[in-house]
Amino acid sequence: EVQLVETGGGLVQPGRSLKLSCVASGFTFNNYWMSWTRQAPGKGLEWVASITNSGGSTYYPDSVKGRFTISRDNAQNTLYLQMNSLRSEDTATYYCTRRPPLFDYWGQGVMVTVSS
Protein backbone atom coordinates (compact mmCIF):
# COMPACT_ATOMS: atom_id res chain seq x y z
CA GLU A 1 0.00 0.00 0.00
CA VAL A 2 1.36 3.38 -1.03
CA GLN A 3 1.71 5.74 1.92
CA LEU A 4 2.94 9.32 2.04
CA VAL A 5 3.25 10.87 5.49
CA GLU A 6 4.04 14.58 5.82
CA THR A 7 5.44 16.30 8.88
CA GLY A 8 6.93 19.65 9.78
CA GLY A 9 4.01 22.03 9.49
CA GLY A 10 3.07 24.70 12.00
CA LEU A 11 2.73 28.40 12.70
CA VAL A 12 5.55 30.61 11.42
CA GLN A 13 6.03 34.34 11.18
CA PRO A 14 6.22 36.11 7.82
CA GLY A 15 9.76 36.13 6.44
CA ARG A 16 10.81 33.05 8.38
CA SER A 17 11.57 29.53 7.16
CA LEU A 18 10.08 26.07 7.55
CA LYS A 19 11.03 22.64 6.24
CA LEU A 20 8.48 19.95 5.43
CA SER A 21 9.24 16.25 5.17
CA CYS A 22 7.38 13.39 3.54
CA VAL A 23 8.23 9.77 4.24
CA ALA A 24 7.16 7.41 1.49
CA SER A 25 6.47 3.68 1.73
CA GLY A 26 4.80 0.93 -0.24
CA PHE A 27 6.60 1.60 -3.52
CA THR A 28 10.11 1.97 -4.91
CA PHE A 29 10.66 5.62 -4.07
CA ASN A 30 13.62 6.23 -6.37
CA ASN A 31 11.58 5.16 -9.41
CA TYR A 32 9.19 8.09 -9.20
CA TRP A 33 9.12 11.83 -9.67
CA MET A 34 7.58 13.50 -6.62
CA SER A 35 5.81 16.79 -5.95
CA TRP A 36 4.36 19.11 -3.39
CA THR A 37 0.89 20.51 -3.98
CA ARG A 38 -0.92 22.92 -1.68
CA GLN A 39 -4.44 24.05 -0.84
CA ALA A 40 -5.17 27.35 0.86
CA PRO A 41 -8.03 27.24 3.37
CA GLY A 42 -11.32 26.88 1.51
CA LYS A 43 -9.56 27.17 -1.84
CA GLY A 44 -8.48 24.98 -4.74
CA LEU A 45 -5.31 23.09 -5.53
CA GLU A 46 -1.98 24.65 -6.52
CA TRP A 47 1.13 22.77 -7.65
CA VAL A 48 4.18 23.94 -5.73
CA ALA A 49 7.22 21.93 -6.81
CA SER A 50 8.37 18.76 -8.56
CA ILE A 51 11.58 16.76 -8.54
CA THR A 52 12.84 14.01 -10.81
CA ASN A 53 13.39 10.51 -9.45
CA SER A 54 17.15 11.04 -9.21
CA GLY A 55 16.79 14.51 -7.73
CA GLY A 56 18.80 15.96 -10.57
CA SER A 57 16.15 18.38 -11.78
CA THR A 58 13.54 20.47 -10.01
CA TYR A 59 10.60 22.58 -11.17
CA TYR A 60 8.62 25.39 -9.56
CA PRO A 61 5.83 27.82 -10.41
CA ASP A 62 6.69 31.52 -10.40
CA SER A 63 4.80 31.98 -7.12
CA VAL A 64 7.46 30.12 -5.12
CA LYS A 65 10.53 30.11 -7.39
CA GLY A 66 13.57 31.38 -5.51
CA ARG A 67 11.92 30.89 -2.12
CA PHE A 68 11.09 27.16 -2.01
CA THR A 69 13.46 24.24 -2.61
CA ILE A 70 12.35 20.67 -3.16
CA SER A 71 14.82 17.87 -2.48
CA ARG A 72 14.87 14.17 -1.74
CA ASP A 73 16.88 11.49 0.01
CA ASN A 74 16.32 8.26 -1.86
CA ALA A 75 18.19 6.25 0.75
CA GLN A 76 15.69 7.41 3.37
CA ASN A 77 12.63 7.39 1.08
CA THR A 78 12.04 10.99 2.07
CA LEU A 79 10.95 14.09 0.19
CA TYR A 80 11.55 17.60 1.51
CA LEU A 81 10.32 21.12 0.93
CA GLN A 82 12.43 23.95 2.30
CA MET A 83 10.34 27.10 2.43
CA ASN A 84 12.08 30.44 2.95
CA SER A 85 10.84 34.03 3.06
CA LEU A 86 7.36 32.80 3.87
CA ARG A 87 4.38 35.05 3.14
CA SER A 88 0.82 35.07 4.39
CA GLU A 89 -0.31 33.77 0.99
CA ASP A 90 1.73 30.60 1.58
CA THR A 91 -0.73 29.61 4.31
CA ALA A 92 -2.13 26.28 3.16
CA THR A 93 -2.26 22.55 3.63
CA TYR A 94 0.74 21.07 1.85
CA TYR A 95 0.39 17.64 0.26
CA CYS A 96 3.16 15.32 -0.77
CA THR A 97 2.11 13.88 -4.12
CA ARG A 98 3.52 11.15 -6.28
CA ARG A 99 4.16 11.07 -10.02
CA PRO A 100 3.55 14.60 -11.23
CA PRO A 101 1.66 15.75 -13.16
CA LEU A 102 -0.59 12.74 -12.68
CA PHE A 103 -0.56 13.11 -8.86
CA ASP A 104 -1.73 9.52 -8.39
CA TYR A 105 -1.23 9.36 -4.63
CA TRP A 106 -1.54 12.10 -2.00
CA GLY A 107 -0.45 12.26 1.60
CA GLN A 108 -2.80 13.35 4.38
CA GLY A 109 -1.37 16.86 4.24
CA VAL A 110 0.32 19.16 6.74
CA MET A 111 -0.89 22.65 7.66
CA VAL A 112 1.39 25.65 7.36
CA THR A 113 0.17 28.95 8.79
CA VAL A 114 2.14 32.11 8.11
CA SER A 115 1.10 34.83 10.52
CA SER A 116 2.57 37.26 12.99
Q: Are 10 and 18 in contact (CB under 8 A)?
A: yes
Is residue 61 close enough to count as binding other proteins by CB under 8 A?
A: yes
State how far the Cα of 20 lies from the Cα of 80, in Å rounded to an integer: 6
* Least gap, CB of 108 to other proteins (angstroms): 6
Kindly state the DSSP code that residue 2 receives in the 8-state scheme.
-
* Least gap, CB of 101 to other proteins (angstroms): 3
Q: Are 85 and 69 in contact (CB under 8 A)?
A: no
Q: Quick one: which segment of 9-17, 22-30, 76-84, 94-102 binds other proteins (CB under 8 A)?
A: 94-102
* Least gap, CB of 16 to other proteins (angstroms): 25
Is residue 28 close enough to count as binding other proteins by CB under 8 A?
A: no
Is residue 73 close enough to count as binding other proteins by CB under 8 A?
A: no
Is residue 33 close enough to count as binding other proteins by CB under 8 A?
A: no
Is residue 26 close enough to count as binding other proteins by CB under 8 A?
A: no
Out of 24, 81, 92, 100, point to the residue binding other proteins (CB under 8 A).
Answer: 100
